[in-house]
Amino acid sequence: MDTIVVDQGRSSMYGFVEPQTIQPSGNTLESKQHYLQTWMDESKRYVYLMPYIDGKMKTDLRTMLQG
């Protein structure tokens, strides 16, 4: 999802932290928390947390973002 937002030039408004972007930060809870906190602090955007969307809902969200 993040790739779509970046490609559309909307990355200053929306951001997605997908599981594959968190994984390289490490496997401990502390390393994941640190990664997310740093990302939220540095993004300077409003942050809304929601569960990872998969399947049809992900397709619907992608379609909505693409216009």
pTM of the model: 0.48
Residue % of the chain over a pLDDT of 70: 48
pLDDT digits (tens, 9 = 90+) for 38-58: 888 887 777 766 666 666 666
With b for 16 or more beta-carbon neighbours within 10 A and e for fewer, the 14-44 pattern comes to bbbbeeeeeeebeeeeeeeeebeeebeeeee
User: What does the longest C-alpha to C-alpha distance in the chain come to?
Assistant: 38
pLDDT of the residue at 15: 67
